[in-house]
Structure 1
Amino acid sequence: MPAITASSELALTAISTTREDSAQAARTRFGAQLAFTDARRLATHPDVDLVVVTVKVPATSSWSPPRSRLANTCTANGH
């Protein structure tokens, strides 16, 4: 979220989580206009142009993709 909220080229319009209370809390925390618990309603809302899916990864410091997947991703992206 920090990259999206810090961007001068993007506006955070909506937040979606699986629970109403956490969706409203996230909307307030990040300054979004809308909060959803239904991904289909979020994706089809006329004010939403782009959907970014983010998830919490509890152990990000110890996680890394398998080398073969990383190599395929880098090759596909030209890096």
Structure 2
Amino acid sequence: MITTEPNMTNLFLQLGLEAGENDIRDFILQHQLPAEIKVTAAAFWSEGQRHFLAESLKSDNDWAIVVDELNEALHSDASAQATQA
């Protein structure tokens, strides 16, 4: 059971990623996803990371909100292109 506060920093720590403000920003900038790729299907996740993200979304717990925020951030380029079209 995860008892840490659900926020972006703790999500990155939970995923085993660097979690400094610049690290999170850089990760998001470097891992933009096309609109048709779900966050849980991204090729850059390990199986453990993918499982955590999928379970968080499926259980609709407090982590689901943060995972959804990450999803939106990873799709920000695709969303911007869609609104320009």
Q: Which TM-score applies when normalising by structure 1?
A: 0.29
Q: Which has the higher contact order (CA 8 A, sep 6+)?
A: 2
Considering only CA atoms, is the larger Rg found in Structure 1 or Structure 2? 1
The structure in which a higher percent of residues are helix is 2
Which of the pair is proportionally richer in strand? 1
Q: TM-score, normalised by structure 2?
A: 0.27
